């Protein structure tokens, strides 16, 4: 059976955008959390993010069909990571197909960061494309699990840009990978343990462009004891207080009863979006 899972999710238009092009899923029964950010300035970004999140869920729940890109192992189901990467590739294929069939949506794209937890195995996997992020908060420490697919991150990796300048760099939102556009995607796969007390934060860059990691950690420290839903609202509120220059989406997934307050299970079980 494994440890119970608890989720909370919220999305907000922010203070300057006219439309919300983010989408999310928070599904404790499937052990799934997903955030997607439709590409701003491109047509139908909201459609792309909605297609991406829906495709990931349907693929992992068995409604999306068997992916042709990852053949099943003889006599066994796909491994956790294989399943998640295949789901991300299915999302990319759906966004591309929809754009090809609708001239008004040509060029649309989206980021996606998807977390799948199997508490009975105490395992998790993350599939990631773009500059939305996944973090792990445990034992008072916050650690970024995903790597941004951006020009700025590439310069940091190449040591041509100091990490201290990356957060505020004016080209910080120039993506090197996204669903639906450019060359074939190469999703990042992160796998690891999922133990009681682990709390995963998934978010779009509307949060991280306003709040650096030290502020994310501070909010988590202060608000986790009040429940995941309160913590998610506080994170979004903090980003809006700093300007809310983009759409803001936050999903929290916690493993084990230690991360939940009374009522969390009932509320979060109906929170999938």
> What percent of the chain has pLDDT above 90?
70
> What percent of the chain has pLDDT above 70?
83
Tally of CB atoms within 10 A around 63: 10
Q: What is the CATH number of domain 5-269?
A: 3.60.40.10
Residue pLDDT, tens place only, 186-225: 999 999 999 999 999 999 999 999 999 999 999 999 999 9
State residue 76's pLDDT score: 46
Cα–Cα distances in angstroms (integers) from residue 156 to residues 168, 173, 187, in the given order: 13, 14, 19
β strands within the chain, DSSP E: 5-12, 22-27, 32-37, 112-118, 123-129, 133-138, 141-144, 188-193, 199-203, 248-255
Q: Which residue has the higher pLDDT, 67 or 236?
A: 236
State residue 221's pLDDT score: 96
Cα–Cα distances in angstroms (integers) from residue 103 to residues 45, 223, 225, in the given order: 14, 45, 48
pTM of the model: 0.88
State residue 257's pLDDT score: 78
pLDDT of 88 above 80: yes
State residue 163's pLDDT score: 72
Residue pLDDT, tens place only, 16-41: 999 999 999 999 999 999 999 998 66
Instruction: Quote the mean pLDDT of the chain.
Output: 87
pLDDT of 43 above 80: no
State residue 266's pLDDT score: 35
State residue 165's pLDDT score: 65
Q: Which residue has the higher pLDDT, 162 or 84?
A: 84
State residue 250's pLDDT score: 98
229 φ, ψ (degrees, to nearest 5): -65, -45
- First CA to last CA distance, the chain: 24
Q: How many residues does the chain have?
A: 273
Contact 107, 96 (CB under 8 A): no
Q: What band does 179 get if pLDDT is binned at 50, 70 and 90?
A: very high
Contact 22, 106 (CB under 8 A): no
Domain range list for the chain: 5-269
Residue pLDDT, tens place only, 137-175: 999 999 999 999 987 777 767 777 777 666 666 655 789
pLDDT of 115 above 70: yes
């Amino acid at each position: 059976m494994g440890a119970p899972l608890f989720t909370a999710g919220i999305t907000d238009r922010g203070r300057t955008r006219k439309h919300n092009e983010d989408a999310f899923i928070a599904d404790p029964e499937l052990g799934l959390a997903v955030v997607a950010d439709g590409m701003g300035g491109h047509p139908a970004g909201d459609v792309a993010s909605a297609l991406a999140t829906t495709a990931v869920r349907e693929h992992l729940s068995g409604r999306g069909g068997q992916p042709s890109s990852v053949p099943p192992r003889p006599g066994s189901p796909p491994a956790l990571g294989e399943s998640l990467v295949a789901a991300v590739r299915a999302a990319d294929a759906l966004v591309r197909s929809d754009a090809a069939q609708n001239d008004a949506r040509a060029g649309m794209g989206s980021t996606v960061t998807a977390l799948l937890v199997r508490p009975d195995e105490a395992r998790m996997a993350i599939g990631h494309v773009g500059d939305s992020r996944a973090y792990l908060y445990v034992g008072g420490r916050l650690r970024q699990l995903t790597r941004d697919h951006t020009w700025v991150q590439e310069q940091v990796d190449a040591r041509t840009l100091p990490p201290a300048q990356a957060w505020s760099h004016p080209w910080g939102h120039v993506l090197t990978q996204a669903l639906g556009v450019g060359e074939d995607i190469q999703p990042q796969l992160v796998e690891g343990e999922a133990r009681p007390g682990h709390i995963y934060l998934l978010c779009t860059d509307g949060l991280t462009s306003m709040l650096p990691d030290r502020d994310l950690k501070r909010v988590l420290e202060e608000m986790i004891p009040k429940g995941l839903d309160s913590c998610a609202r506080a994170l979004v509120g903090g980003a809006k207080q700093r300007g809310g220059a983009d759409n803001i989406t936050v999903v929290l997934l916690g493993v084990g009863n230690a991360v939940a307050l009374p009522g969390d299970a009932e509320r979060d079980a109906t929170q999938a979006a």
